[in-house]
Amino acid sequence: MEIQLSSEQEKFIQEKITSGEYINANEIISEALKLLELRESKIKELKAQIAIDTEQIAQGKVTDGEVVFQRLQEKINHISQE
């Protein structure tokens, strides 16, 4: 497989290697793919929860909006910290 990186991406990768955060570009790409997989998994979970919640709304089972937004913010904060 062959990939092409922008000059900014190449510079970013080189800076990470030079700083000692990563050993080589493969390690960086591996980490990036793990994060992408985690992100996609979290999005899938959220979509499933939205489907459940939408069904509950249709059935008249609702929660106060302030509580909902607080829970969503907590989830966003949790995802952002990963």
Tens of pLDDT, residue by residue over 50-75, are 999 899 888 988 878 888 899 999 99
Q: How many helices (H) and strands (E) does the chain have?
A: 3, 0
**pTM summary value:** 0.63
Token pair of 58, please? 């249709």
Q: What are phi and psi of 36, to 5 degrees?
A: -65, -45
pLDDT at 79 over 90: no
Nearest 10 degrees: CA dihedral of 68, 74, 77, 82? -120
| pLDDT digits 0-9 by tens, 8-51 | 999 999 999 999 999 999 999 999 999 999 999 999 999 999 99
pLDDT at 80 over 90: no
For residues 27 and 33, the answer to whether their CB atoms sit within 8 Å is: no
The answer to whether the Cα torsion of 19, 24, 25, 31 is positive or negative is negative
